[in-house]
Structure 1
Amino acid sequence: MRFNIFSRRAPPLTQNPVTYEGAPAVVLTAEQALRRSVLSCLLWETEFYEGGVTIADRIESLAGEVEVQVLADLAVEARERFKLRHAPLILLVALSRRKAGALTAQTIERVIQRADELSEFLVLYWRGGKRPLAKQVKLGLGRALAKFDAYQLAKYDREGPVRLRDVLFLTHPKPKDEAQAALWKQLAERGLPSPDTWEVALSGGADKKATFERLLAENRLGYLALLRNLRNMDQAGVDPEAVKAAILARRGAERVLPFRYVAAARAAPRFEPWLDQALTETVLESPVPDGRTIVLVDVSGSMDWQLSQRSDLKRIDAAAALASIVPGDVRVFTFSNGVVEVPPRRGMAGVDAVIRSQPHGGTELGKAVAHVNRLPHERLIVVTDEQSSDPVPDPVAARAYMINVASAKNGVGYGRWTHIDGFSESVLRFIAEHEAQV
């Protein structure tokens, strides 16, 4: 986490809300503004238009303006549907400051799904200075701690200002049985056995090839860890058939964001055919919508901003990955200063077609919407950071969706648009669910 982050650009000085590029924006409710800031936010990471601290401070402020049930539901949604880790934690901290009663403990227990999130929550809780833990916070953390076994606790008990044993001492949870009591005694005494992970094995000098092949055979390598280690496995000479089988099995893929496949393919091109197949599996899992869909993808310069400081992936990668898995009869266009149609390819080929379609310059979203409005279609999906430089007309399609993949304060995709925030494939599932109910 980083705190010394500053805004890249100041917002335009005007009495009416506008985007950072100058187009008229929409006045949002506190709930709309909070969802907008949270659901595509990698906490503390600077975006093209705003700094990470600016976004985090806005989240904390807006979290105090919505109903506590709305706040709790959003924390759950951000963690479970949108696969975010740190943004939900800041919502939990905000919830802990409200008079939410048992809802606080229930939400903490549900949202915390990895053992290290216990300590990360406390770091955020004490960000403004140490303070006592509220009763419901203790209950929630204690119940969450009880969800994790010896492997999970050992794997995520990392050095830092707050250790997992600190969580145990602060919450005093009651073990459910003698086995859990013995486990927590090991945690308290720093006596947990080393977990069987690739990091532990390799740091201990184990053979890289043998280690990865054993973990693959035993299904002990998480799917995200698999994708992140493809280059290491290729360089170590791991059996490619074993790697292929693991990629296609997609065990744990439900927690992996679509753009992770793009990163893996760039790091280990040898495995791209299988990564492509795994990515396009998400298309087969989605119901096929009726009628023609036009997908309009933002490839302006702001979309070239990195997703995080340590990542070489960009917002445009997340947007292109989403566009590449839209099912059904699809026409795909990109926009920047111009509007360009690209082949509606699936998977990696679709990602490449979008990114290479035209120079990444201005953000003339209004012109692009006007262009596709003249074409026959039943559904319009726009994937963008919503920072248009020109006014955006209403869509002509009855089913029109603005998918926002950034956290900038103001946006244009409201009114007649169905507005969706986030870059998980959950946004596409939402469209299917939404239309099924209409």
Structure 2
Amino acid sequence: MAKFNKTAVRPAATGPITTTGRARTHEGGAGAVRDPKGELFLLAVANMAGEDTFYEAAGDRDARFAALVQRVAVADPQWITDFLGWLRTGANMRSASLVGAAEAARALLTAGQPGGRRLISSVLQRADEPGELLGYWTSRYGRALPKPVKRGLADAVQRLYTEFSLLKYDTGSKGFRFADVIELVHPVAATPAQGEVFKHALDRRHNRPFPPAPDLRMISANAALRSAAADDPTALLNTESLRAAGLTWEDALSLTGSRVAKGKLWTALIPTMGYMALLRNLRSFDEAGVSDSVAEVICARLSDPAEVARSRQFPFRFLSAHRAAPSLRWGHALDKALTASLANVPVLPGRTLVLVDRSGSMFYGTSRNARLTNADAAAIFGTAVAMRNLGRADLVQFGSSAKRVDVRAGESLLRIVDRFGDLGGTNTLAAVQRFYNRHDRVLIVTDEQAHAGQGNPGSALPPTVPLYTWNLAGYRPGHGPAGPYRHTFGGLTDAAFRLVPLLESGANGNWPWKTA
């Protein structure tokens, strides 16, 4: 007779983040501290470098991040390399990955360990990022560039510097122009045409006469179109001319000023614009009177799942665009795009309790320029789980008090998010105690900073009921220990949700970059 291996018994799977001791939350509640890799992971996936958070000043937070990166890099160079590469491309955290790569490369160099070159190159994915990394490095460590840093930057320049990227990113507002980067790291051109791009960048940086070489067709077309637009701004109303010249929408708006009707200009520009540019300009399209037929083309792109995946937008960007747009014509497309951006949210067997933190600290912006808060992001993730498991999930918002949020079949995710409110303090344990009713699992989306008197929320559950904590802020203390059936994830995308089915199948959950 089987004694232990019964269908009602779940495997005691463990997640990648572990805890090492007890601590107090920033509000004085009982909590736990994580191991260095776990603390670094949760901080990095929520860390907009140089940004204050509710409980942590920017300088303190950035110093903690740098110290953790340095410590983990020396202890496990392969892990830090894999992690930072995923952080840039999987978690879409641009600034944190660049800062992390610089600090990790320096730590490896100081410890006499290899790997800095590959690490630096791996996180640089956009042509303005070599200059960004140089800006960070020189502000911290001066203009002397160690060989691994220099060679990693040169590898990235060889991959990323093109005619179009030169026209788009090499602007006078940058501290390190393309030419400055080229002169500091001495990249070898991959092709003769790229060699001409390098030469052109140097000529224009140093104010030398720089008629573009014949091979630089886009740069030549750009110069010709700018010259024509100075006399006749209607030259910018030809979409094919704009595309051939690699003229950005920002430059086109600047060149025309008020000399061309904005609706006509946007209509010409829209086919040349990238996904993020479309998303951030919906209000401008409405204000300019862009026609419904053009709007339909935009909506088709915005709602295309393949376009959403390629864009790598944070899910909360779609809520931000929805709130900023004056008209209703974008709503359905944005709702479809938001749903597509949450493709990793799983369908789960049995019943799920979803608790969304709406305490005061959650209403701090994801960055100083963001219109959205951690509370908004929490509502999006929690609602997505409830909708994906409609009829088998109970959605609850909590703070000092707690209450259910209705989710009805066929509703828009964007509409449901508007039902959430501001509920004051962080009484997490009390919310679990009140609403847990023999659910098969509990998911809490939170910053984990429970108030004094609040203990481990997992203590209100049977020990074999999985508790998933989705941490949105990356603070050092958490609200409970990790271990079998107690798992912590984090981030501003849905990437780590793919671990939930693995954990429940009995496989020990690994880091997200090892499950792709």
TM-score, length basis structure 2: 0.76
Maintained 8 Å contact 1:323/1:350:
no
2:406 is the counterpart of 1:393: no
Alignment partners' CA distance in 2, 1:402 and 1:307: 19
71 and 176 in structure 1: CA distance in 2 versus 1, 3 angstrom threshold: same
Instruction: Give a deviation string over 1:396-422, Cα, whole Å, max 9, x none.
Output: 363321010003221124324211121
2:293 is the counterpart of 1:246: no
2:462 is the counterpart of 1:408: no
Report 1:166-245 matches (<5 A): 166-190=180-204, 193=219, 195-205=246-256, 207-217=261-271, 220-238=272-290, 239-245=294-300
- Equivalent residue, structure 1, for 2:353: 294
Structure 2: runs of 5 or more not aligned: 1-20, 205-209, 213-218, 223-245, 508-516
Shift of 1:91: 0.6
Shift of 1:362: 0.6
Aligned counterpart for 2:415 among listed residues 327, 349, 366 = 349
Maintained 8 Å contact 1:402/1:413:
no
RMSD: 2.2
340 and 155 in structure 1: CA distance in 2 versus 1, 3 angstrom threshold: same
| Paired AA for residue 42 in structure 1 | M
Instruction: Give a deviation string over 1:18-69, Cα, whole Å, max 9, x none.
Output: 0011111213222122122211111111111111111101011111211222
The more displaced of 284-293 and 314-323 is 284-293
Alignment partners' CA distance in 2, 1:222 and 1:426: 23
259 and 405 in structure 1: CA distance in 2 versus 1, 3 angstrom threshold: same
Alignment partners' CA distance in 2, 1:261 and 1:130: 39
- Equivalent residue, structure 1, for 2:487: 418
123 and 185 in structure 1: CA distance in 2 versus 1, 3 angstrom threshold: same
| Paired AA for residue 216 in structure 1 | I
Q: For residue 26 of structure 1, give the secondary structure of its aligned residue in structure 2.
A: strand
Alignment partners' CA distance in 2, 1:229 and 1:207: 16
2:334 is the counterpart of 1:275: yes
2:178 is the counterpart of 1:164: yes
Alignment partners' CA distance in 1, 2:98 and 2:283: 31
Report the structure number with the largest CA radius of gyration: 2
61 and 163 in structure 1: CA distance in 2 versus 1, 3 angstrom threshold: same
109 and 378 in structure 1: CA distance in 2 versus 1, 3 angstrom threshold: same
Q: For residue 133 of structure 1, give the secondary structure of its aligned residue in structure 2.
A: coil
Maintained 8 Å contact 1:369/1:392:
no
Alignment partners' CA distance in 1, 2:38 and 2:106: 21
Q: Which has the higher contact order (CA 8 A, sep 6+)?
A: 2
- Equivalent residue, structure 1, for 2:165: 152
Maintained 8 Å contact 2:34/2:476:
no
| Paired AA for residue 125 in structure 2 | Q
Alignment partners' CA distance in 1, 2:457 and 2:381: 23
Report 1:256-405 matches (<5 A): 256-268=313-325, 269-270=327-328, 271-283=330-342, 286-326=345-385, 327-328=388-389, 329-344=392-407, 347-353=413-419, 355-356=420-421, 359-373=422-436, 375-389=437-451, 390-394=454-458, 395-396=461-462, 398-405=465-472
Alignment partners' CA distance in 2, 1:318 and 1:144: 33
Alignment partners' CA distance in 1, 2:281 and 2:120: 31
Alignment partners' CA distance in 2, 1:284 and 1:89: 27
Structure 1: runs of 5 or more not aligned: 1-14
Aligned counterpart for 2:62 among listed residues 53, 56, 67 = 56
44 and 153 in structure 1: CA distance in 2 versus 1, 3 angstrom threshold: same
| Paired AA for residue 302 in structure 2 | I
Maintained 8 Å contact 1:405/1:423:
yes
Q: For residue 407 of structure 1, give the secondary structure of its aligned residue in structure 2.
A: coil
- Equivalent residue, structure 2, for 1:22: 28
The more displaced of 122-131 and 49-58 is 122-131
Q: For residue 64 of structure 1, give the secondary structure of its aligned residue in structure 2.
A: helix
| Paired AA for residue 127 in structure 2 | A
Shift of 1:109: 1.7
Instruction: Give a deviation string over 1:196-246, Cα, whole Å, max 9, x none.
Output: 2110111111643233323433xx322221111000011112232222222
Instruction: Give a deviation string over 1:62-120, Cα, whole Å, max 9, x none.
Output: 11211222322221222111111101111111112123655222222221111111111
Alignment partners' CA distance in 2, 1:187 and 1:20: 50
Alignment partners' CA distance in 1, 2:416 and 2:115: 43
Shift of 1:266: 0.4
Maintained 8 Å contact 1:305/1:315:
yes
Instruction: Give a deviation string over 1:256-295, Cα, whole Å, max 9, x none.
Output: 0000011000011421222112212345565522222221
Maintained 8 Å contact 2:313/2:341:
no
Percent identical residues: 32
Alignment partners' CA distance in 1, 2:506 and 2:200: 51
Report 1:5-154 matches (<5 A): 17-66=23-72, 67-99=76-108, 103-148=115-160, 149-154=162-167
Shift of 1:365: 0.7
Instruction: Give a deviation string over 1:112-153, Cα, whole Å, max 9, x none.
Output: 111111111111111234141111111111111122222123
Shift of 1:433: 4.6
Alignment partners' CA distance in 2, 1:338 and 1:436: 34
Q: How many residues get paired?
A: 418
4+ residue segments displaced more than 6 Å = none
Alignment partners' CA distance in 1, 2:135 and 2:494: 30
411 and 98 in structure 1: CA distance in 2 versus 1, 3 angstrom threshold: same
The more displaced of 222-231 and 239-248 is 239-248
Q: For residue 201 of structure 1, give the secondary structure of its aligned residue in structure 2.
A: helix
Alignment partners' CA distance in 1, 2:316 and 2:479: 24
TM-score, length basis structure 1: 0.89
Maintained 8 Å contact 1:96/1:134:
no
311 and 127 in structure 1: CA distance in 2 versus 1, 3 angstrom threshold: same
